[in-house]
Amino acid sequence: MSNRDTVLLETVRTHRARLVAAFLFGELADRRVANDNVRRFIGGIVLAAVVSAGCVGAAFVVKFFETQAAAQQQQQQLETPTPEPTPTSTPGIGDTP
């Protein structure tokens, strides 16, 4: 007898859940379309977030390497001695050409 009661309670619970879902979301065919569209929308948002994070990460890495290359180039310029210009004689006021 306990088995019959359990089956009856499960049936009533399932029936109530279906009635509530039908009241809140409409007919079964409409609910499936709405749920699928919501899932697609959420999936699109997640995909957009992942792509955005990838772009930000790539920009960070590129900027980091550019900064590192610029610092290395500046360091090399400081270490490399620049040749001093050779003095050239320019005729002055009292000089003879």
Number of domains in the chain: 1
- pLDDT, averaged per 10 consecutive residues of the chain (97 residues), comes to 87 93 78 73 96 97 96 88 66 61
Give DSSP secondary structure letters for 36-82. Answer: HHHHHHHHHHHHHHHHHHHHHHHHHHHHHHHHHHHHHHHHHHHHSPP
pTM of the model: 0.45
Domain span including residue 49: 2-78
**Residue 84 belongs to some domain of the structure:** no
**Residue 93 belongs to some domain of the structure:** no
**Residue 86 belongs to some domain of the structure:** no
Residue 6 has what pLDDT? 92
**Residue 30 belongs to some domain of the structure:** yes
